[in-house]
Structure 1
């Protein structure tokens, strides 16, 4: 394991959130889309189920994406800003079958704030461990999705949103065959 289980989970969830904006059709267009995303990624706490909540979550995506592509000092500034705006107060909690892990907001904080602060807390660990290289953009030429490389040897290059690795490898194979 590279990071604590809650850190890994928050990083993967943040990447999934960012990637909802990376396909041809935005995957968070409706409240039902948001409901499905929240349920699939097991976000806890209160919800307003309003268009304002949906807009706030959608607005979070580019803020998190900026950290994925930032140099260390800029990443620190962005993460600190998220933590400050969320009035983060880290606490150990246990809920929904999860063992003790960190939450830095109250369960009744707005969904976008909880999502942002959870991601920021995970990004704190990434920055402290000097592992920003694990936050990447997919290596496929036609993909802008982000990924978290949790492999032991830091070798993950392609996202999980489609068949990017397979498409790239097939294209390279065909190019080699064409020149042979």
Structure 2
């Protein structure tokens, strides 16, 4: 394991959150309503209080562009974003244990707004990325027509494509091109 389990989950969920935003020719808004946000929160196991309203949805949507900046920033830019996210949330790191997870860090209360908890979890995980000098593991999908983000947690740093099937699509297109050239 490169990072702690909670950091890896926070990084993956931050990338997944950003990838819900319509970005590029093939993508659509994947958080069109509160029900979609509820499904996203459930799929990633977010805990704590929820409002289940349009304001909460708007706050979570507003977080996505800020997190996307991380994937295209140098280390100083990432540090500025991380420090800003932590300062705005008045983060106070503390060890907690809940829902079958052993001790891990939370830096907000369970009553903090969902978008604040998401921002701080991502920021805390990014602290580990910066401290480990592993910023190169935060990537944009290598497919020409995809701008989704990914976190490369592979041992050999070889992950190039997002989870949207781009790797398979690119490989099939390359195979077909080789077959056409051979004919």
TM-score (norm 2): 0.95
Runs of 4+ in 1 over 4 A off after TM superposition: none
How do 1:24-35 and structure 2 match up within 5 A?
24-35=27-38
Alignment match, 1:64: 67
Deviation of residue 170 (structure 1)? 1.3
Alignment partners' CA distance in 2, 1:63 and 1:41:
20
Alignment match, 1:5: 5
Residue 76 in 1 paired to residue 79 in 2? Answer: yes
Alignment partners' CA distance in 1, 2:28 and 2:53:
21
Deviation of residue 24 (structure 1)? 2.6
Deviation of residue 159 (structure 1)? 0.4
Q: Deviations over 1:141-179 (max 9, x none)?
A: 11110000000010000001x210011111112222333
Alignment match, 2:21: 21
Alignment match, 2:179: 177
- Give the unaligned 5+ runs of structure 2: none
Alignment match, 2:53: 50
State the superposition RMSD in angstroms.
1.0
Alignment match, 2:148: 145
TM-score (norm 1): 0.96
Alignment partners' CA distance in 2, 1:124 and 1:176:
44
Which of the residues 120, 123, 130 maps onto 1:120? Answer: 123
Q: Deviations over 1:37-88 (max 9, x none)?
A: 1111110111111211100000001110100111111111111110111111
- Give the unaligned 5+ runs of structure 1: none
